[in-house]
Amino acid sequence: MMPLSLASLHALWSGPVDWWSVGLAILGIIAAWWALRGRRTDRLHCGKCLHALAQTRPDAIAAGALCPECGHSLSVAGGLRQTLPRPYIKWFGRILICSGVAFWLWNGAFEGFGRLLLPRYRVENTQTILGCQVVVSQPRWSDDLASPLVEVRQSGRVVFASTMSHPSVGSARLQDPFCEEPVTLLWVRSDSGGSLGLSETYAFRIGGGDAPLPDFLPFAVLHEGAFIKSTPEQAEPDIWIAYDLTYKYWLTTGVNSPSVALRGTPTSSKIVWSDADPSAAPDEVRLQGVRAKLRTLAAASETDAFAGSKSDEALGLVLDAFLELVYEGRSNEAWHFLRASYNDGLESLTISSQRAEVPRSLEALERVLLEQMQRSPYLGEILRRNGGSIAPPALPTTVPIQVPSNSRATSR
């Protein structure tokens, strides 16, 4: 429930539109006052039934006289009146007052009262995972820009609560390298949405039996990734997939943007990355397929209006395969593939590209690729997988590549 204060009363007022309601109500009050004030007449009237009396002056009324129509005493205070009300104007004023109040209520005051009296959040769904109750609540009002609220409860006690964008929850079973037994995790993920896919996942270790871990602190906070869940029939633990978004919308746009990932296991202090798997990188058949596609794109006789889209598609195909080779520890093969692809048609497509950021020579392309890879937060792990260097074979490698101090990636 919103605390009652001067600021909270603003919920009852929706802005300039409500001034029309106030205007109608004020006009109604003025009309009702004028109607009750009445119009003066030359004769006296009974103050109760408004019967016209024969006398025209109050001093002509005898003491104890009664109204011949209703028997009301004419000598008491208010027993006489010399004005008559205006009933039609009185009802017109009442209609205006009621219209103003009704318009104010219809225009948002009902919702304003609701904001004052009802809780800000309403429960959207409740799940029970690993003995914990996870409650996801949404803002009650559509114009409330607050993020959804996620609460984790153990034995009825809230042990974790946070607002999150596009929240999701689940469980994972990991083989922590520092523990002999698999570790069971409850995870809560906040995803900012959009094409960048930025996310944070809070992972909590669940204590055995009825003894939860102290303060329910996160076992790990993981960035830009998700758990790949094992099937119930498999005993293998889940794996953390961390996506490297360094290349999102870099040199390419839309679906052509390359997206490479690293696989690892969260621990209490870092992520232990899995060893490179050279067999997971593109095989020769796929690489030849990319080069064949490049030749087709370069030879297509389309108008210049399509030159930018063809260049974008070609760069996406090449960069995707190139980065997968590098991330699986095959950087030398990756550079040879890039040079062969450049000769197969990537050169003509990049030259015809309408985007100024696209390099127009092989040397410039290799240079910006190397610079971009050095911006990756996982550079330390990439270097480890490639023997300490990811430089092109033809370039000098005497200058070491510096690992950023704020890198989230960790190596063994």
What pLDDT does 389 receive? 93
Strands 199-205 and 220-223: antiparallel
Domain boundaries, the chain: 8-117, 121-237, 278-385
- Give the DSSP H or E segment for 125: strand 121-129
Give, in degrees to the nearest 5, the angle at Cα 76 between 91 and 82: 45
What pLDDT does 303 receive? 47
What pLDDT does 4 receive? 44
pLDDT (average), residues 62-67: 79
What pLDDT does 235 receive? 67
What would the pLDDT profile of 233-288 be if each residue is shown by its tens digit?
666 788 899 989 899 888 888 788 888 999 988 887 788 898 888 888 899 999 99
What pLDDT does 8 receive? 47
Residue 318 has pLDDT above 70, yes or no: yes
pLDDT band, very low/low/confident/very high, at 388 (cuts 50, 70, 90) = very high
What pLDDT does 20 receive? 66
How many CB atoms neighbour CB 93 within 10 A? 22
Task: Choose between 390 and 175: higher pLDDT.
Answer: 390
Burial letters 182-212, b for 16+ CB under 10 A, else e: ebbbbbbbbbeeeeeebbbbbbbbbeeeeeb
Contact in structure between 194 and 165 (CB atoms under 8 Å): no
Instruction: In whole angstroms, give the CA distance from residue 270 to residue 83.
Output: 90
pLDDT band, very low/low/confident/very high, at 340 (cuts 50, 70, 90) = very high
What pLDDT does 56 receive? 67
Residue 198 has pLDDT above 50, yes or no: yes
Contact in structure between 407 and 377 (CB atoms under 8 Å): yes
pLDDT band, very low/low/confident/very high, at 5 (cuts 50, 70, 90) = very low
Helix axes 87-104, 17-37, angle to 10 degrees: 160
Q: Architecture of domain 121-237 in CATH?
A: Beta Barrel (2.40)
- Of 5-9, 190-194, 267-271, 307-311, where does mean pLDDT reach its minimum? 5-9
The residue with tokens 């000769």 is 343
- Give the DSSP H or E segment for 310: helix 307-327
pLDDT (average), residues 167-180: 82
pTM, 2 dp = 0.65
pLDDT (average), residues 377-382: 93
What pLDDT does 409 receive? 44
Residue 412 has pLDDT above 50, yes or no: no
Hey, which of 35-39, 68-72, 313-317, 398-402 has the most confident mean pLDDT?
Answer: 313-317
Instruction: In whole angstroms, give the CA distance from residue 20 to residue 16.
Output: 8
Instruction: In whole angstroms, give the CA distance from residue 57 to residue 43.
Output: 8
pLDDT (average), residues 39-58: 76
